[in-house]
Chains A and B, each alone.
Chain A
């Protein structure tokens, strides 16, 4: 995991540096002289070779001082605290929705296979995977905010304002989780142990709700970490559309303003989150599957 983090931090660093554009153009007024621009570059370290810049940067990060924004001089630690909290609320809500809605719907579809409920849930799931979420976001705003006027279109951070972005952010995850839950449930329903449990006199509710579901959760839990990555990625778009002041929104703004420190630091934060998600997935997999837990 550390190696992945190291490589991705290098990649993020280079990508931002190579993206072109001149930081001084964004930070300084157009009337600034070339000498002044050179001096500014030297002050923030842009004149050194890029690998030295990288080491200097990583050193500062590890010391807990990622620096300041070059557009408004705000402390990045402060920015992370503020935007991070908002993002955590939105992402956490979306993550919870993925499983609180996705798993029960998938179980229902598997138990009522080929009924209207199953077909309904599966069509919904296909739609969920097919609709791009920026469009879904606009649709949701149009429907709930402008037509019915029951939910606010944007802003932060009341519960009501959370509903729309959280649902939009969770939507594709829900759709995928429904499908995975359904197929994993159906697969496990044909296992021999189901017959043993029935022969033991357990009710269908116990056999399906406890034993089959527990087995079906193995692949779902193992891919939960990937849902984190997905949510982090989509948060960029969804936070922007709903003006939710999270990390995603701060990052997009920073990139547009060529605010290197902010863009770099927040990109790095997102990368760490995704890597952490994948690592959690591995851990979760061994927790869910005893066959991997004690390999003697």
Chain B
């Protein structure tokens, strides 16, 4: 028991996030619970707009407070509720203990400062070190992110680097202080495919070296298959299925997960149209009364339309479904 408490770096309980738009509030994250342990990669998967990124931002305490607010739940980091921390305490944790890598490395770096000055500034905000010491730490971080000619690159401006190199700089920024938790929000989506693989590889090596707990957000199941230890599938602001990567790919139980996996194009199949899940994500303004997925589910029962299933199960596998199906291939 003691083991488990220490192991869980991030525990989110019943998180609810409301967004204010066009004069009304509505929930985009609806009672989400998950945990990230040290030395593991949890992939959070789901289609665009299901609430993945906003969940990540809420862990960082970086929700745009004028439009989005946490209305319920707690986010525990080593047992301490991040939502109750003061702004300056939260600031101290950022990048020192909990780091985040963003989707678009092109726009995510300040264009008028050199990457060396960005890195050393963040290092010196958290560590009481001199400028040459900070510079050495910056070089170490860049080298760990496998940026070639790290020391010369300190004097480069972001626009002088390629997209892949910039994402390495982002990794260096996020891991320079050896954080316990690393959140990566679609870290490879903006990069081309060959660079994607290198960046993913490097991220996973960094995670293993530093035994970080990593929350990787993606909508790309190929990425999941490559790096994940555990997977949480998110749909319309809720987690619908959670399992180890092996179990999820072999025996997906939720019809939505099955639909996602079924939608992966098979290069061995010569012809035929691509599989897709029929219908659309329900608009968050008017959620359906029953299961969020019922309107698109081919296996929906009467009760699926009337009441919401709960996320049930423990440890390894969790599922939110009244009528799970064995996978038919």
Does B20 touch A at the CB level, under 8 Å?
Answer: no
CB <8 Å contact, B91 and A203: yes
19 contacts between A and B (CB under 8 A): A191-B107, A192-B102, A192-B104, A192-B108, A195-B108, A197-B122, A198-B62, A199-B94, A200-B125, A201-B93, A201-B95, A201-B126, A202-B91, A202-B121, A203-B88, A203-B125, A206-B125, A288-B112, A290-B112
Contacting residues, chain B, for A288 (C-beta < 8 A) = 112
User: Would A199 and B113 be within 8 Å (CB), given that A192-B108, A193-B108, A290-B157 are in contact?
Assistant: no
A209 to chain B, nearest CB (A): 13
Contacting residues, chain B, for A214 (C-beta < 8 A) = 110, 112-113
Does A196 touch B at the CB level, under 8 Å?
Answer: yes
CB <8 Å contact, A215 and B111: yes
Which residues 91-121 of B have a CB within 8 angstroms of A? 91-96, 99-100, 102, 104, 107-113, 121
B240 to chain A, nearest CB (A): 28
CB <8 Å contact, A200 and B173: yes
Alpha-carbon separation in the docked complex, A296 to B170 (Å) = 23
Does A289 touch B at the CB level, under 8 Å?
Answer: yes
CB <8 Å contact, B110 and A211: yes
Alpha-carbon separation in the docked complex, A176 to B104 (Å) = 34
CB <8 Å contact, A199 and B109: no
Alpha-carbon separation in the docked complex, A215 to B158 (Å) = 14
A193: which of B60, B100, B110, B126 is its contact (CB, 8 Å)? B110
Which residues 193-227 of A have a CB within 8 angstroms of B? 193, 195-203, 206, 211, 214-215, 218
A196-B109, A199-B95 given; 13 more Cβ-contact pairs under 8 Å = A192-B108, A193-B108, A196-B170, A197-B122, A199-B62, A200-B95, A200-B125, A201-B93, A201-B126, A202-B121, A203-B88, A291-B157, A296-B160
CB <8 Å contact, A211 and B113: yes
User: Would A201 and B96 be within 8 Å (CB), given that A195-B102, A195-B108, A290-B159 are in contact?
Assistant: yes
CB <8 Å contact, B111 and A193: yes
Contacting residues, chain B, for A199 (C-beta < 8 A) = 60, 62, 94-95, 99-100, 102, 174
Does A43 touch B at the CB level, under 8 Å?
Answer: no
Does A63 touch B at the CB level, under 8 Å?
Answer: no
Contact with A along B242-258 (1 / 0, CB 8 A): 00000000000000000
A interface residues, tally (CB under 8 Å): 23
User: Would A193 and B107 be within 8 Å (CB), given that A211-B113, A214-B113 are in contact?
Assistant: yes
CB <8 Å contact, B111 and A291: yes
A187 to chain B, nearest CB (A): 13
CB <8 Å contact, B111 and A202: no
B307 to chain A, nearest CB (A): 39
CB <8 Å contact, A289 and B112: yes
The residue in chain A whose Cβ has the minimal distance to the Cβ of B183 is A199
Alpha-carbon separation in the docked complex, A192 to B100 (Å) = 13
CB <8 Å contact, B112 and A201: no
Alpha-carbon separation in the docked complex, A215 to B60 (Å) = 25
Alpha-carbon separation in the docked complex, A291 to B109 (Å) = 13
B128 to chain A, nearest CB (A): 14
Alpha-carbon separation in the docked complex, A197 to B93 (Å) = 13
User: Would A202 and B159 be within 8 Å (CB), given that A191-B107, A192-B108 are in contact?
Assistant: no
B155 to chain A, nearest CB (A): 11
CB <8 Å contact, B160 and A201: no
The residue in chain B whose Cβ has the minimal distance to the Cβ of A193 is B110
B65 to chain A, nearest CB (A): 12
Contacting residues, chain A, for B126 (C-beta < 8 A) = 201
User: Would A294 and B160 be within 8 Å (CB), given that A199-B95, A289-B112 are in contact?
Assistant: yes
CB <8 Å contact, A202 and B157: no
B159: which of A195, A196, A201, A291 is its contact (CB, 8 Å)? A291
Alpha-carbon separation in the docked complex, A294 to B95 (Å) = 31
CB <8 Å contact, B122 and A192: no
Contacting residues, chain A, for B174 (C-beta < 8 A) = 199
Contacting residues, chain B, for A291 (C-beta < 8 A) = 111, 157, 159
Alpha-carbon separation in the docked complex, A203 to B159 (Å) = 25
User: Would A201 and B157 be within 8 Å (CB), given that A192-B104, A193-B107, A214-B112 are in contact?
Assistant: no
Contacting residues, chain A, for B157 (C-beta < 8 A) = 290-291, 294
CB <8 Å contact, A196 and B111: no
